[in-house]
Amino acid sequence: MRIMGLDFGSKTVGVAISDPLLITAQGVEIIRRKDENKLRQTLARIEELIEEYQVSEIVLGLPKNMNATEGIRVELTNEFKEKLERRCGLNVTLWDERLTTVAADKIMMEAGVRRENRKEYVDMIAATLILQGFLDYRKMKETADKH
């Protein structure tokens, strides 16, 4: 079984999937939608990916403000989480995603991706960073629990 990482935005959802051993995260795709309030096709595509990759759990980025307060994006993310859980029947864990978009942008800058092309990949890379952070945390917690 694998874990799926999602970066939920107003017009896109970045998707990442773990390897079967739950060690690394790989970006899979960016789901784009025309209208922020229309999620049916987005949820259907996520369901297809869950089946394709045999996903057993989902990690969803929680976009808190830098001072840890919660704005409208957190509210929308919580609503999306509820819809996901109802539709897919999987546990959805919220994961603090502060600075993942900044980190994703930096990674692309260092890789020489032109500024005008970065928007195309930023959500998928952010989803990968969210999922990798979660996987690393779990591994660290498992190791600490053994000692």
For the chain, the domain total comes to 1
Contact 120, 1 (CB under 8 A): no
Residue 77's domain spans which residues?
2-146
- Identity of the residue numbered 84: L
pLDDT at 87: 95
Burial annotation 26-38 (CB, 10 A radius, 16+ → b, else e) = bbbbbbebeeeee
Express each pLDDT in 78-120 by its tens digit: 999 999 999 999 999 999 887 677 777 788 788 887 877 777 7
Which long-range CB contacts under 8 A does 35-38 form with residues at least 24 apart? 36/10, 36/11
pLDDT of residue 69: 75
Distances in whole angstroms, Cα of residue 38 to Cα of each of 33, 53, 123: 7, 24, 18
How does the average pLDDT of the chain come out, rounded?
89
Of 1, 12, 35, 27, the closest CA to residue 119 belongs to 12
For residue 89, what is the domain's CATH number? 3.30.420.140
**The one-letter amino acid at 138:** R
Does this model's pTM top 0.85? My answer is: yes
- What is residue 104's three-state secondary structure? helix
